[in-house]
Structure 1
Amino acid sequence: MPKLLRIQFTLSELESDECQVYLGARVAHGWEEKPLDDDSIFYTIHLEDHPLGMEIVEEIKTRWPDAGCVGEEIEDENWGLAWKDYFEPVTCGQFEILPPWLLEKKTEGKNHIIIEPKMAFGTGSHPTTALCLELISKLADEGKLNANMEFFDLGTGSAILAIALAKLGLKGVGVDIDPQSIVCAQENIDNNDVDGIILSVGSADSIDPKLKYELVVANILSGPLIELCPDVTARLKENSILILSGILVEQSEKVAAEYIKAGLPAPEIFTMGEWAGLLWRDVSAEDE
């Protein structure tokens, strides 16, 4: 019988938000959370991919050394497929995100994005991804996006945002520091039959520094967004658009302040539950 890798660890509630963002980026099909009496949370993950699973174990041990993270092989009792029974299409603005096995459920009149839920961030179910898709839809509805524009997608993950933009006719570049994300991203791009997307392993500084874009989107964590501020703003053309997400509401002002300090105006801040998205509609040359 095939074996699964089971990963288990415990974190405090104070660490849960950061953990959920991390797991959303690495375990797109989901995980189990069990509250404990001491206000901590016990996490369980089941994975079919053992090498990548062990990478996650090591990453969790590095990020949260006191979490007691362990990974062990167990007999596969169809856990690897059972989660599919609970996966539903996700609607974000004018986009509908579906896995390949639910194409018959697609809604007419929507831009359909086919995503194979794997270990790469972006199935549309997490508020940070949904916020980005909602803002992209809003900009499209306002006529702010057109097929002559080029985008830069920092931390592309599953390439869901790049695919959404390609569905609107834009072309651009998606980068991610995780090579496996680029593999998943290319598979999703192929499944959606879109072109004009170039993928690269790396961060904001991984391509020609002279390249600038009409739209930059970055759905990563607030810490990296602050750290990468100079690299992100350096990618902006005159009258460009910037979307930042992956930010907790209480962190949004701090992230915004860093970009204001870099010369940008104050952004519009949109929220979804505990999460925030920052939008700059027109970054002028003097703001760069």
Structure 2
Amino acid sequence: MPETDTPALFRLEIVAEDEDFDRVSGLLALDAAFGWEEESLAGGETRFTVHCESEEYLRRLLDQVLLMAPQAGTNLARVEKQDWLAAWRQFFTPVLCGSRFVVLPPWLAGTGDFPGRIPILIEPKSAFGTGHHATTALCLAVLSELLDAGRVEAGQTFLDLGTGSGILGIGCAKSGLGGVGLDIDPLAVDNARENRAFNDIAPAVFEIDAGSVDAVAGRQFDLVLANILARPLREMAPAIAAARATGGCLVLSGLLESQADAVEAAYREQGLPQARRSLDGEWCALVWA
């Protein structure tokens, strides 16, 4: 029988001590291209298992893990391919985020279990942001607060930087805003466009493209959301701050509370006032509104 063209599948295992749990899980929520599994070990550690068709991608992820958690044990190997989407269905649960949103998989699109909430449909074959991690949930909770307070409203514009699954941009679009989602990872761009279609959002309402903040240089938005890592948030502070329209709102997430002072300082240097902080465990969102 001839060989098929089915791509190989690779597995990255990460064993992290308890003190590194939030760092590793946060990195996976922001940077992992495919869904991961978590297993609590007898010694108190957690084993994270990530599967992906790109060995190169997992090697880059491994390097990121070791930068954030140098004591973590890691192993990268080639494995037999399985139906990972079917496995996702066994444990993906709806996530309530803030006062307004509920994140659902597409097969629960018609559920009536969450009256009064805006459903955001996310295909859980990827971990670009399903709402299960504090970094994503924090942003949606802050978005809910801004909408409730009237600081963000229908008809305004948004920029979703590091859009990942598109979850934040979808929340904005379903709240009546229009804008742009950008991500430097082409896998994320494909995933976000797929989720945009699941949510019946027109491309003209929520544009999704490859790139970073320089792709919208010269444009300004009523709301800027950036759910990425602390270092790029600091490095891109001038461009991100410039993308915020006068009187607009800025939300930065993807950072540990211990990193918040340094990130906030980078934006204070751009003339912004002191930020409000929204916390969930070790994770922090900085909010200017």
TM-score (norm 2): 0.86
Q: 2:158 aligns with which of 151, 154, 157?
A: 151
User: Can you give the 5+ residue segments of structure 1 that lack an aligned partner in the other structure?
Assistant: 282-288
User: Structure 1 residues 102 and 216 mapped into 2: Cα distance closer, same or farther (>3 Å)?
Assistant: same
Q: 1:36 to 1:206 in 2, by over 3 A?
A: farther
1:84-103 matches, within 5 Å, as: 84-93=89-98, 94-103=100-109
d(CA) in 2 for partners of 1:104 and 1:55? 38
For 1:96, give the aligned amino acid. Answer: V
Alpha carbons 1:244, 1:279 under 8 Å: kept: yes
Q: Which residue of 2 aligns with 1:30?
A: 36
Matches within 5 A, 1:1-288: 5-13=10-18, 15-25=20-30, 26=32, 29-35=35-41, 37=43, 41-45=46-50, 47=51, 49-51=52-54, 54-63=55-64, 64=66, 67-74=73-80, 76=82, 80-93=85-98, 94-105=100-111, 106-195=113-202, 196-207=205-216, 209-281=217-289
Change (3 A) 1:124 1:41: closer
The amino acid of 1:264's aligned partner reads L
Aligned with 1:239: secondary structure?
A: strand
Q: Deviations 1:15-35 (Å, cap 9, x if unpaired)?
A: 443321221131563322444
Q: CA 1:215–1:5 in structure 2 vs 1: closer, same or farther (change >3 Å)?
A: same
Task: Please give the alpha-carbon distance, in whole angstroms, between the structure 2 residues aligned to 1:75 and 1:175.
Answer: 30
Judged with a 3 Å threshold, the aligned counterparts in structure 2 of structure 1 residues 255 and 97 are, in CA distance, closer, same or farther, namely same
Kindly, what percent of the aligned residue pairs are identical? 37
CA-atom RMSD, angstroms? 2.3
Shift in Å, 1:103: 2.6
Q: Would the alpha carbon gap of residues 61 and 279 (structure 1) be closer, same or farther in structure 2, given more than 3 Å must change?
A: closer
- Is contact 2:38–2:46 with CA below 8 Å preserved after alignment? no
Name the amino acid aligned to 1:150. T
Task: Quote the Cα distance in structure 2 between the aligned partners of 1:36 and 1:88.
Answer: 26
- Whether contact under 8 Å (1:242, 1:280) holds in the other structure is yes
Please say if residues 57 and 69 of structure 1, whose CA atoms lie closer than 8 Å, have aligned partners that are also in contact: no
In 2, Cα distance between equivalents of 1:244 and 1:223: 12
Q: Which of 28-37 and 190-199 deviates more?
A: 28-37
- Contact 1:154 1:204 survives alignment (8 Å): yes
Q: 1:41 to 1:95 in 2, by over 3 A?
A: closer
Per-residue CA distance 1:133-183 (angstroms, 9 max, x = gap): 011111111112222211111100011100100011111111001011000
More deviation in 158-167 or 60-69? 60-69
Task: Give the TM-score normalised by the residue count of structure 1.
Answer: 0.86
Residue 112 of structure 1, CA deviation: 0.6
Cα separation, 2, equivalents of 1:102 and 1:157: 21
